[in-house]
Amino acid sequence: MWFSFAQAAVYNAVEGITGDYALYDWHAKAPKGASPEAAAAVAAHDVLRYYFGSSATIAANLDAALANSLAGIPDGVPKHQGMRYGARAAARLIELRANDGRFAPITFDTPVVPGVWRPTPAAFLPFLDPWLSHVTPFMLDSDSQFRPGPPPAMGSAQYTLEFNEVRDYGSNLAVGAPGQSRTQAQTDTGLYFSRDIGAGPYQAGLRDLASRHQLNISDSARMFAAVDLSVADTIFAVWDSKYLYGKWRPITAIREAGTDGNPDTAAVPTWTPLIPTPNYPDYVSGLGGVTGALSQSLARLNMFDLIVTSPVGTTRHYTDPVAMRTDVVDARVWDGIHFRSADVAGAAIGVDVANWAADHYFAPTK
């Protein structure tokens, strides 16, 4: 989410000077000849310092990074005009995001009954940041704009199919062990899309893309803003569904299948997923949503050429957004942490958000 705050300010700071693309909810043009590099550096610094500057260490690091960036820009009127304009862009972003619902005192108080999420082994942590379901989006009309229908009912044939799939393909049993259907290639894909790939590694992939394709500062600012604002709105939309539907995770569903009222599911009390289950409901998938937004944003910009190194150390090169989304949908089932419908619905939300953004924001002005 925080990437979007900085990138929105940087985008406005750059495009207000270059004039290549429509500004994001702002109309202040920069003085002619102002430095977009100086504007971008100050905009990013001021936003991050505003939100994270209470830490003396972070504040000092941000100040040092700004000084280093500005040192490479020739001194003079363009530089100082750019710096002042970047500060204005940051102030505008901070103004826009005031009272947006972050950190609101929202709790998940649904009774613990079959089908409803509850803290999962081994840590049994509470629902992480339920307030994300009530944050004002950057671009969407509301967090529920692309809300999917409910997940499959526990007594349905679809639920039984998905239950059996994640039970047989998503456990932490070794490949080839009795009761384990996942292949080594599927295991590798599951581990590649591990829990933390959607933050730092995806952003590193975007930086690599900008470098390999030698994007200028204007096109780079547009790419990062389009992707990161779409990702942020997707996270809010995903949490809207998680909070509303509150569906239990596979580890709970499989261990407690005897309570679900479905005669075609059977409990496996010791079942454990391939990777630890995150502490929020199943439906819909967060990484599915983030990957859908990332891939479709780049596709709409005609820039999809993504090389990403996973936290597990493996690298993949995707040139087809559908292939990437297909892999992440499969992976989270093979990880044992999602039913397939949660992955499919999450990816669809991300695609819808990215398309909305591309149709309504970041348009060329020339």
Q: Encode pLDDT of 6-27 as tens digits.
A: 999 999 999 999 999 999 999 9
| Stretch 207-212: mean pLDDT | 98
Dist CA 117 CA 241 (whole Å)? 13
Instruction: Using the predicted structure, report yes or no on whether residue 366 has a pLDDT greater than 90.
Output: no
Look up residue 117 and give its amino acid: W
Q: What is the predicted pLDDT for the residue at 196?
A: 85
CA–CA gap between residue 146 and residue 230 (Å, rounded): 13
In this structure, what token pair is assigned to residue 300? 């709409």
Q: What does the pLDDT average to over 286-295? A: 98
In the predicted structure, residue 195 carries a pLDDT above the cut 80: no
Nearest residue to 66 (alpha-carbon basis) of 88, 89, 37 = 37
Average pLDDT, whole number, for the chain?
A: 97
CA 362 to the chain's CA centroid: 19
**Domain limits, CATH 1.10.606.20, in the chain:** 109-360
- Please, which pLDDT band fits residue 227 given cuts at 50, 70 and 90? very high
Give the helix ranges, DSSP H, for the chain. Answer: 2-18, 36-52, 56-71, 77-96, 157-169, 184-192, 200-212, 217-245, 250-255, 286-300, 321-334, 340-360
Q: Which CATH code fits 109-360?
A: 1.10.606.20
Confidence bin at 171 (pLDDT 50/70/90): very high
Q: For the purposes of burial, counting CB atoms within 10 Å of the CB of 124, is it exposed (0-12), middle (13-18) or buried (19 or more)? A: exposed
- What are 217's two structure tokens? 């500062």
Q: Which long-range contacts (CB under 8 A, 24 or more apart) does 268-271 make?
A: 268/167, 271/167, 271/171
Residues in the chain: 366
pLDDT digits (tens, 9 = 90+) for 14-69: 999 999 999 999 999 899 999 999 999 999 999 999 999 999 999 999 999 999 99
**pLDDT digit string, tens, across residues 274-287:** 999 999 999 999 99
Phi, psi of 13 (to 5 degrees): -60, -40
